[in-house]
Amino acid sequence: MQYNSIKKGEYLTLTEEYKFLRGPRNRFKELTFAINVFFEFIKGFRKLHFVGPCITVFGSARFKEDHPYYKMATEVGAGLANLGFTVMTGGGPGIMEAANKGAKLAGGRSVGCNIILPFEQTPNPYLDTWVNIKYFFVRKVLLFKYSYGFVCLPGGFGTIDELFEALTLIQTKKVLDFPVVLMGKNYYDQMMIMLVRMLEEKTISEEDLKLFLLTDSVEEAMNHIEKFAIKRFNLSRKHIQKRWRILGE
């Protein structure tokens, strides 16, 4: 059944993820799912291999063009492009669109890793290239794989999930100490209170609170990324991979 022929309430009963997470199935179905995931990764790898050093911008899909956070995200996208980064987002509307728009208007590169849904999200019009992914977890891996830092603007469950995924990977040394910038002091003030509580209860350490910068200043955010991404890892456009004609690239 095609996505456009089902109702929202029916979607969860039809997704492959839903069926997969219900528990063990017969071996053929498990193998088929694993093969589908493998080809989703290959599709993403081929599409994004040449995008160059990226900074991924996270944020809500629900903010409109007249919202202050949309404007902030546009400035962030432009700032990242001026630093020489490719701006990567989830490819959808709202904050994602704004960041891609800012990069595009500044003459930079703009890419998206879009999730296929039966409603709400389609690739925004400011993308130079994008890849459509069926599985959320594959999409998340791709958003992290090509990035040397992360900027998180206000958002909902998905944004918070992506933020703490980045912090967890850095905390546990699964990825290098890439810069993480959290923008929107008023929006995240209650979360900061919770983090202080976690520190008091010793579920995190003082060093963990140094894994990100909280700011409302785009200039401060760009300086932080320049210091902890460009200079630390000696990044340049030379990091863009060469194409191999034999592989159809």
Q: Which domains does the chain have, with CATH numbers?
A: 40-234 (3.40.50.450)
Confidence of residue 6 (pLDDT cuts 50, 70, 90): very low
Over range 179-187, report the average pLDDT: 97
Contacts of 84 by beta carbon, 8 Å cutoff, 6+ apart: 53, 108, 230, 235, 236, 237
DSSP class of residue 216 equals: S
Task: Decide: helix, strand or coil at residue 31.
Answer: helix
Task: Answer whether 147's CB lies under 8 Å from 235's CB.
Answer: no
**pLDDT exceeds 80 at position 174:** yes
Over range 149-172, report the average pLDDT: 97
Sign of CA dihedral 133, 135, 140, 146: negative
* Residue 10: predicted pLDDT: 41
* Residue 52: predicted pLDDT: 87
Query: What tokens does 238 get?
Result: 């030379």
**pLDDT exceeds 80 at position 155:** yes
178: number of CA atoms within 13 Å, CB side? 24
* Residue 4: predicted pLDDT: 44
Q: What is the pTM of this model?
A: 0.87
Over range 28-35, report the average pLDDT: 94
* Residue 120: predicted pLDDT: 54
**pLDDT exceeds 70 at position 14:** no
Over range 144-165, report the average pLDDT: 96
Over range 220-226, report the average pLDDT: 96
**pLDDT exceeds 90 at position 161:** yes
Confidence of residue 103 (pLDDT cuts 50, 70, 90): very high
**pLDDT exceeds 90 at position 122:** no
Candidate from 2-6, 191-195, 199-203 with smallest mean pLDDT: 2-6
Sign of CA dihedral 29, 143, 69, 65: negative
Side chain identity, residue 132: N
Q: Which residue has the higher pLDDT, 237 or 77?
A: 77
DSSP class of residue 173 equals: T
**pLDDT exceeds 70 at position 248:** no
* Residue 236: predicted pLDDT: 60
**pLDDT exceeds 60 at position 216:** yes
Looking at every residue in the chain, the average pLDDT score rounds to 89
Candidate from 115-119, 131-135, 139-143, 183-187 with smallest mean pLDDT: 115-119
